[in-house]
Structure 1
Amino acid sequence: MPTATDFKDYYAIIGVDKNATPEEIKRAYRKLARKYHPDLNPGDQQAETRFKEINEANEVLSDPEKRKKYDQFGQYWHQASQGAAPPPRDAGVGVEGFDFDQYGDFDSFINDLLGRFGGAGRTRGRTYTYRTPTGEPTGFTSPPADTEAAIALNFSEAFHGVQKRLQLDNEVINVRIPPGAKPGSRIRIQGKGHPSPFSQQRGDLYLTIEVLPHPFFKFADDNILCEIPIRPDEAVLGAQIQVPTPDGSVTMKIPPGVRSGQSLRLRGQGWRQPQGRRTDLIVKLQIVPPKDISPIEREAYETIQANTSFDPRAQLQEVRL
């Protein structure tokens, strides 16, 4: 039976206010899960313990019904979620002496509990039965609980799919991640959640995907984004260049007169989607001038500078405060 010292402040563990919205809780959980994930902290026992606490807190606060029970009953929320009523707060008697295991059902426990608090004479001959909203008597019936965990993948694993071995508590689980997993997506693994302590039936495991940063590719909604440097002459005259994609280089045509920061789209060269389809690759161009040039190049640039009529700052002449 939990005591006041068993209480865990799940809001403090996640780092949010008690009135935090589900979106705020989700953001805070993902940030902490990424920070303390065992894959990113190999051999760090404190990080592993912190990661388990974060997942435990998120499991309760991300579930509206569990969160409601937790807010209402504090450290007794789990008993309440199983159909049990928490011990009276004003009884003036400690509850650490009560052991659920000695009772065949909750009715027996609550009758004994009320007898101790109120006196044997007051409860003799009475039967206290607690019922669910549908009218059914409650007992020690605890439904299997779903479990939430986070898994970190690199870009290649997320794009191509991967088989992973996860250590959850004392169990090793083999998980197949399908191609095209995106940050924040969830994968359901049936029958790998927490078991009911009475029926031993297990809930499901929900894995939240975290994709580690890549030095070249980034996510841009459903598409992916990369930046490509081009020379000034390629920007002026146009060119055909090679652009890396997740599964190899392709040729892209740069039209004449592009600006630095302008984006071009390579259709069907982005992230994997179900049924084998692909999103787009957005290519952001960056014009990069050379730092070291040959005498011939310098002469060519000086000739252009002396003979050009183009003034990119002409429109700034009328700017005034």
Structure 2
Amino acid sequence: MASTDFKDYYAILGVNKTASADDIKKAYRRLARKYHPDMNPGDKAAEARFKEVNEAYEVLSDQDKRQKYDRFGQYWKQAESAGAAASGGRSPFTSVDFDNFEFGQYGSFEEFINELLGRMGTGSTGFGGRTGPQTGYRTSRRTTGFDGFSTGFDTGTGTGLDTEATITLSLSEAFHGVQKRLVLGREEFEVRIPPGAKPGSRIRVKGKGQHSPYYTSQRGDLYLTVEVTPHPFFQFDGDNLLCEVPISPEEAVLGAQVEVPTADGPVTMNVPAGIRSGQSLRLRGKGWRTPKGDRTDQIVRIVITPPKDLSPVEREYYEKLRSIRSFDPRSSLKGIRL
């Protein structure tokens, strides 16, 4: 990665380098909602900004990744793989003082490695006096070529040829399934994400990992870990979908039929008379897709919402109701003492 490709993740999230994990999470949530594709339909600039925000949060929300990023700058991923693959499990970076390194001066990771090896000496230990990465020392590659989500590729995992990536989907893409065109280095290929992928799901793409340095026909697999961006209405409640639906005070008292959005479109739901705010109703078979092709339930949490602006007639009737009301909602509180 050239130094000009370096992304300042702190600047992307609008926080400083001393920001707490809580500050980073708050900044991410604010920006993710602001630039979410559902909130900016057809806006390519917002979509690109949304990808950047997710990429920045992926690194800065992970304590280990954040420490490496702070220390090695644009080469943090390469340094991470190099340390893990060094002989005997000992990182080649542990004996080097990085305080005087200016990472931005290097045009590529290879230039950085050559300078590093020069500082370490060229004896018979470590890399044996050669001037570049050797067998068993694999660099990580990071790409943002995935259309529609941020990715991070870590080589040297599993068999040493398998590749890990994070794929960020909208809730709609995760629910319905989606075909994605991936760009990995010079290779372009299609990946089908099946319907019903949930956060943390892992999808294996056979034969799309790293090539073996010894056998040209051998190649690892690509493993995609799914992340799902927040939705303004739906969220996960275990295996079910959860939403909140507002109703008016009179609908709560008298009962009502209200229209509720679902993944399949709006449905009419019966709200029983006397329901309380916070109580939940269940729409069976309207939740998330399961691997077997079934559907879980949609949980509807009721929120009684009083009107903010009343017409003169509405105010008159509410005042009449108050004057003739026989029900005392706080009768159970009488006599309570410590």
Is the aligned partner of 1:190 residue 2:201?
no
> In the TM superposition, what is the alpha-carbon distance from 1:95 to its structure 2 partner?
4.5
State how 1:77-156 maps to structure 2 within 5 Å: 93-98=124-129, 145-156=161-172
Letter in 1 for 2:328: D
Instruction: Spell out, residue by residue over 1:287-313, the C-alpha distance to the aligned partner (whole angstroms, 9 max, x if none).
Output: 111112223222221221111121111
1:208 to 213, 225, 243: 225
Is the aligned partner of 1:259 residue 2:276?
yes
> In the TM superposition, what is the alpha-carbon distance from 1:178 to its structure 2 partner?
0.7
> In the TM superposition, what is the alpha-carbon distance from 1:173 to its structure 2 partner?
2.7
In the alignment, what sits opposite 1:175?
A: 191
Is the aligned partner of 1:303 residue 2:314?
no
Is the aligned partner of 1:275 residue 2:286?
no
Residues 55, 149 of structure 1: 8 Å contact kept: no
> In the TM superposition, what is the alpha-carbon distance from 1:276 to its structure 2 partner?
2.2
How high is the sequence identity, in percent, across the aligned residues? 54
Residues 240, 287 of structure 2: 8 Å contact kept: yes
> In the TM superposition, what is the alpha-carbon distance from 1:211 to its structure 2 partner?
0.7
Residues 267, 279 of structure 1: 8 Å contact kept: yes
> In the TM superposition, what is the alpha-carbon distance from 1:55 to its structure 2 partner?
9.7
**Which has the higher mean CA deviation after the structures are superposed, 243-252 or 164-173?**
164-173
> In the TM superposition, what is the alpha-carbon distance from 1:226 to its structure 2 partner?
0.7
TM-score, normalising length from structure 2? Answer: 0.58
SS across alignment from 2:270 = strand
For residues 82 and 297 of structure 2, the distance between their equivalents in structure 1, rounded to whole angstroms, comes to 38
For residues 189 and 160 of structure 2, the distance between their equivalents in structure 1, rounded to whole angstroms, comes to 18
Structure 1's unaligned 5+ residue stretches are 1-30, 62-66, 77-91, 107-141
Tell which structure's C-alpha radius of gyration is larger.
1
2:259 to 231, 239, 242: 242
Residues 241, 252 of structure 1: 8 Å contact kept: yes
Is the aligned partner of 1:221 residue 2:238?
yes
CA RMSD of aligned residues (A): 4.1
For residues 318 and 184 of structure 1, the distance between their equivalents in structure 2, rounded to whole angstroms, comes to 50
Is the aligned partner of 1:41 residue 2:52?
yes
User: Which 4+ stretches in 1 moved above 6 angstroms?
Assistant: 47-52
Is the aligned partner of 1:75 residue 2:101?
no
Structure 2's unaligned 5+ residue stretches are 1-27, 33-47, 60-68, 93-122, 137-157
For residues 207 and 259 of structure 1, the distance between their equivalents in structure 2, rounded to whole angstroms, comes to 43
